[in-house]
Chain A
Amino acid sequence: MPELARKDVLGLETMSRQEIELVLHTADSMREVLDRPITKVPALRGRTVLMMFYEPSTRTLASFNLACKNMSADTVSVSKSSSSLVKGESLRDTIQNLESMGADAVVMRHPSAGAPHYIARNIEGSVLNAGDGAHEHPTQGLLDLFTIEQHKGSLEGLKVAIVGDILHSRVARSNIWGLSTMGADVTICGPSTLIPPYVTEIGCTVTHDVREAVTDADVIYVLRIQLERQEGSMFPGAREYRRLFTIDAERISLASPDALLMHPGPMNRGVEITTDVADGAQSVILEQVPNGVAVRMALLYLLLGGGE
């Protein structure tokens, strides 16, 4: 019987093609559950999943909550602001709390890369990384792979352009790992100040010319651009960004005619993507949302569905 050979899902870097295929196959079955009049199945009755979100999140938290409820798992949410975290409770205390609550799994979002790895090392239950720093966001990556596969049948040989702030993006990293594992051809594009060093080692090519990036692309994946950051602006401004990088109708016309347009949300309409494109015929942005629930149901099943 094929299984996820792991306790935790911390990133796509370490996930094999077989494992990804199993997740996508299972997600396809879960997607059907979501189309039923009653979307709840009893598979994870009696299981408890703890949501630990140390960063603000609406959609990922909601998606995980929905996935748990659909699978009949109980959820407990512990949200903390990052400020209380700096001065406050240690991860060790957190772990002790988790264990006393008897959680079977922990879904964790955290501003520090590696925080879910710390939890995973120290608890018996499963840990699902819901985004750690600028490291990985594996469930987002998997739902993106799933969305592409639903439309294109296979990921092998697809040309995927990822456009935006790659430096700070965990979504980009998970997608690059996952897409390259599945045989897609990834090009990343963004301002030079927002491209991390040595990124080609993850398995992608880099360009700063958005037209080059999207030409003949099968998928255009637009990332949220945050022009004002805590450490100060890393880009001259929105007008400059529009001129050089925004995905608009003219630029998307260079892509393959049936190219998919994706965005992990939330969008800055008119900045990284124009509204007509975001709401256009090629956009699968709204499908990414239910697909996210399906993929998370699949992961919960694959991690918690069996005994022990």
Chain B
Amino acid sequence: MQRILIKNGQVVDPANERDGIYDVLLEQGQVAAISENISVDGAEIIDAEGCIVAPGFVDLHCHLREPGQEYKEDVASGTRAAIRGGFTSLVAMPNTEPAIDSEAAVRSMAEIISEKAAARVYPAGAITRGQKGRDLTEMGGMMQAGAVAFTDDGLPVTSSRVMQLALQYSDMLGVPISVHEEDPDLAGDGVVNRGRISTLLGLPAIPTAAESAMVARDLELCREFGGHLHIAHVSTRNSIDLIRKAKDEGLKVTCEVTPHHLTLTEDLVRESNYDTNTKVNPPLRTSTDVEALVNALSEGIVDVIATDHAPHSFDDKDKEYIFADFGISGLETAFSLLHDQLVLKGDITMNRLIAALTVVPATIFDLPGGTLSQGEPADLVILRPQDEWAVNPDDFVSGGKNTPLAGWSLTGRVDTVLVAGRIMMRDGELQC
């Protein structure tokens, strides 16, 4: 494979505490060297002056919809969307049709991935068969087939006993259990956060306790029964407080927050006049919650930013608010939104943002990549932090154009993306 030399970029590699102007040499699909003023013969040069060079982003939570709902998204379109967003590794949620709940299903998913994926995709397996919340799946066999984590995402594990068993069993296997925390009784038929906006808009509401009560339960189970509890898409201040306390006690708990929960509030539902692209689960919360999430991210209480990329077809969103599907198509705006709303406003450092998108998620789920250490895969992004662009969902390569950010102007853009040393996007143009 050819040599690629990335010149004069600001290399941000949190794993190696590197932040400065360096050249990066890629060979054989791996990081060969990083230092000042590398010059080699026969290398393709990429000029990265004024740009940030970072490890490719790792998304622990996205929905690629294949198999079963290819009309919303498939592995090809979803991974191309990932590339556009700077993500080189994805963990695909198992709530497909059928669900990824057996060794055979993981193998067939792996086959689809090897045929179609433009980025690295790691399947997550379901915790329970058919995601029905009753019987544990054959996690051991599924891991051997390639599953990197287990989750019934989209649905909560309502039975405390099943959750207990899942944690106990996964502890033996050393694999994380990723949980969608929602008490369905409390959430009811809610579609927005319970609070000022639900009252003003007259929409059925989801209380914050629907999430935090389940977080509390699972932390208690984790304390007693072990396991690596990974809490997906945390959205409330109260959940953060519980997680902070659990981490202080040394529980093996990690968590992720989405770009939209870090930047948007319930007010957007009202301001957008019931735009169903603001309908997401967990719902957009209040500014108090957003502030708590951002602070927790800054402190490291929130480990990871994961997109919860949830693409939907036009028709699935073009409905009455209560009938529209939940979810935001997030891969293609994640970095820009976070950079624009958090880094530029001084709430989060660029270093922390990149760490939460790279080395931390890779470490938590024990995935390759996430760093630019010598010998690591040449998965890498080149970012243009000054570039301003306007979000136009029609330009998305994801099948899901469902973003509440249409028309937003964001500063910070993903310019070039390499996976295993192959240029997948260059100067903002997809090469795959």
Residues of A within 8 A of B (CB): 13, 85-86, 90-92, 110-115, 117-118, 121, 132-136, 170, 173, 196-199, 201-202, 231
Q: Which residues of chain A have C-beta atoms less than 8 A from B201's C-beta?
A: 113-114, 135
| Residues in B neighbouring A110, C-beta threshold 8 A | 320
B321 near A173 (CB under 8 angstroms)?
A: no
Q: Judging by beta carbons under 8 Å apart, are A112 and B195 in contact?
A: no
> Inside 8 A of A85's CB, which chain B residues have their CB?
323
- Are B199 and A231 in contact, with the CB atoms below 8 A? no
Which A residues touch B200, using CB under 8 A?
Answer: 13, 198, 201-202
A114-B273, A197-B196, A198-B196 known; A90 and B202 CB under 8 Å? no
A-B contact pairs, 8 of them (CB 8 A): A90-B315, A113-B322, A114-B273, A115-B320, A115-B321, A121-B273, A133-B203, A231-B188
A112 close to B323 (CB less than 8 A) = yes
B274 at the interface (CB under 8 A from A): yes
Additional A-B contacts beyond A135-B202, A197-B205 (10; CB < 8 A): A85-B323, A86-B323, A112-B322, A113-B202, A117-B273, A118-B274, A118-B320, A136-B202, A196-B199, A231-B189
- B199, A197: Cβ atoms under 8 Å? yes
Q: How far is the CA of A199 from the CA of B198 in the complex (A)?
A: 10
Of the candidates B188, B194, B199, B274, the one whose C-beta lies within 8 Å of that of A117 is B274
A199→B205 CA distance, assembly (Å): 14
A201 lies within 8 A of B196 (CB): yes
How close is A82's CB to chain B, nearest CB, in angstroms? 10
* Min CB gap B199→A, angstroms: 4
Are A134 and B203 touching (Cβ within 8 A)?
yes
A86 to B315, CA, bound (A): 13
Contacts of B189 in A (CB 8 A): 231
A103-B320 Cα distance, complex, nearest whole Å: 21
Known contacts: A199-B199, A201-B200, A231-B189. The answer to whether A114 contacts B319 by CB under 8 A is no
Contact flag A132-B202 (CB < 8 Å), given A111-B322, A112-B322, A115-B321: yes
Do residues B323 and A197 form an inter-chain contact, with CB atoms below 8 A? no
Q: Contact flags (1/0) for B181-201 with A, using CB distance below 8 Å?
A: 000000011000011101111
Q: Which of B195, B202, B274 contacts A173 (CB 8 A)?
A: B202
| C-alpha gap A231/B187 in the complex (Å) | 11
Across the interface, name the chain A residue whose C-beta is closest to B207: A197
Report chain A residues within 8 Å CB of B204: 133-134
A167 to B338, CA, bound (A): 36
What 1/0 flags go to B322-344 for Cβ under 8 Å of A?
11000000000000000000000
With the chains together, A45 CA to B188 CA distance in Å? 47
Asked whether A91 lies within 8 Å of B320 as measured between CB atoms, the reply is yes
Contact code string B381-422 (vs A, CB < 8 Å = 1, else 0): 000000000000000000000000000000000000000000
| Residues in A neighbouring B315, C-beta threshold 8 A | 90
B322 in contact with A91 (CB, 8 Å): no
Measured CA separation A201–B197 after assembly (Å): 10
A202 vs B199: C-alpha distance in the bound complex, in angstroms? 9
- Roughly how many angstroms separate A38 CA and B204 CA in the complex, as a whole number? 45
A114-B274 contact, Cβ under 8 Å, with A173-B202, A201-B199, A202-B199: yes
The chain B residue sitting closest to A121, CB to CB, is: B273
Question: By the criterion CB–CB under 8 Å, are A170 and B202 in contact?
Answer: yes
Chain B contacts with A in 251-302, Cβ cutoff 8 A: 273-274
The CA of A196 and the CA of B274, in the complex, are separated in Å by: 19
User: Considering only CB atoms, which chain A residue lies closest to B314 in the complex?
Assistant: A92
Instruction: Give chain B nearest CB distance to A38 CB in angstroms.
Output: 39
Q: A90-B319, A91-B318, A118-B320 are in contact. Are A113 and B273 (CB under 8 A)?
A: no
Q: For A113, give the chain B residue with the smallest CB separation.
A: B202
A117 vs B202: C-alpha distance in the bound complex, in angstroms?
13
Please report the C-alpha to C-alpha distance between residue A112 and residue B328 in the assembled complex, in whole angstroms.
20
Partner of A198, one of B188, B195, B318: B195
A197 touches B202 (CB 8 A): no
How distant is the Cα of A135 from the Cα of B204 in the complex, in angstroms?
10
Bound CA span A172–B314, Å: 34
A131 CB to nearest chain B CB (Å): 10
The answer to whether A197 and B321 have CB atoms under 8 Å apart is no
Distance A111 CA – B204 CA, assembled complex (angstroms): 11
Given contacts A113-B201, A113-B202, contact A91 B319 (CB under 8 A): yes
Closest CB-CB distance, B275 to chain A, in whole Å? 9
Asked whether A90 and B196 contact (CB < 8 A) given A114-B203, A118-B274, A136-B202, the answer is: no
> Interface code B90-108, partner A: CB below 8 Å = 1, 0 otherwise?
0000000000000000000
Residue of B nearest to A10 (CB): B273
Give the complex CA separation of A121 and B276 in angstroms: 13
Q: In the complex the two chains form, what is the Cα distance from A40 to B189 in whole Å?
A: 44
A202, B202: Cα distance in complex, Å: 12
Residues of B within 8 A of A92 (CB): 318
Q: Are A135 and B322 in contact (CB under 8 A)?
A: no
Q: Is the CB of B318 within 8 A of A90?
A: yes
**Distance from A130 Cβ to chain B, minimum over Cβ atoms (Å):** 14
State how many angstroms separate the Cβ of B274 from the closest Cβ of chain A: 3
Residues 185 to 244 of chain B near chain A (Cβ within 8 Å): 188-189, 194-196, 198-205
The distance from the CB of B321 to the nearest CB of chain A, in whole angstroms, is: 5
Smallest CB–CB gap between A167 and chain B, Å?
A: 9
Q: Which residue of A lies closest to B203 (CB)?
A: A113
* Cβ–Cβ contact B273 & A135, under 8 A: no
Please, how many angstroms separate the alpha-carbon atoms of A89 and B198 in the complex? 26
A173, B201: Cα distance in complex, Å: 9
Distance between Cα atoms of A173 and B199 in the complex (Å): 9
Q: How far is the CA of A85 from the CA of B195 in the complex (A)?
A: 28
Distance in Å: Cβ of A246 to nearest Cβ of chain B: 25
Chain B contacts for A13, CB-based, 8 A: 200
Shortest Cβ gap from B318 to chain A (Å): 6
Instruction: Tell me the complex Cα distance, A102–B316, Å.
Output: 27
Q: How far is the CA of A118 from the CA of B274 in the complex (A)?
A: 8
In Å, the complex CA distance between A107 and B274 comes to 19
Among residues 27 to 68 in chain B, which have CB atoms less than 8 Å away from a CB atom of chain A?
Answer: none
**Chain A residues within 8 Å of B274, by CB:** 113-114, 117-118
Do residues B321 and A114 form an inter-chain contact, with CB atoms below 8 A? yes
The 3 closest A-B pairs by CB, nearest first: A135-B202, A114-B274, A112-B320
Interface centre among A86, A91, A197 (most CB of B within 10 A): A197
A110 to B320, CA, bound (A): 9
Which partner residue on chain B sits nearest A166 by CB separation? B199
- Contact residues in B for A198 (Cβ distance below 8 Å): 195-196, 199-200
